Amino acid sequence: MMVRGVRWLLIIVAVACTRVEKPGREESPVVITLHPPCPPTRSSNPDESLITDYNILVYNSFGLLEHKTYVPRRAFDGGPVSVEARLVAEAPYTVLTAANLGYGLGGFGTLEEALSCRYYMAYPDEFSAGIPMAACLEDAVAGKNLRIDVPLERLMSRVDLCIDRRGLGTGVSLRVESVEVCNSASSVLLFAGSIVDSWPQLFTRGYMKSGSEVWPLNHDTLEGVSGVVSLYLLESRSGGLTQPYIEVKASYHSEKYHTKPGEYLVFRFHISPDGGAERNSLYHITLKPLASGLECPDGWRLDKSAIYED
**Across residues 171-175, what is the average pLDDT?**
93
Pairwise CA distance, residues 66 & 272, whole Å: 40
Of 100, 124, 154, the domain-final residue: 154
User: What does the mean pLDDT of the chain come to?
Assistant: 85
Domain CATH for 283 = 2.60.40
Pairwise CA distance, residues 108 & 144, whole Å: 29
When pLDDT is cut at 50, 70 and 90, the band that residue 3 belongs to is: very low
Pairwise CA distance, residues 282 & 271, whole Å: 10
pLDDT tens for each residue of 219-248: 988 788 999 999 999 999 999 999 999 999
**Across residues 183-209, what is the average pLDDT?**
96
Pairwise CA distance, residues 8 & 122, whole Å: 24
- What total of structural domains would you count in the chain? 2
Of 154, 174, 199, the domain-final residue: 154
Question: Which position has the higher pLDDT, 58 or 27?
Answer: 58
Pairwise CA distance, residues 13 & 97, whole Å: 8
Structural domain contains residue 2: no
Whole-prediction pTM value?
A: 0.86
Pairwise CA distance, residues 125 & 180, whole Å: 12
Pairwise CA distance, residues 53 & 175, whole Å: 40
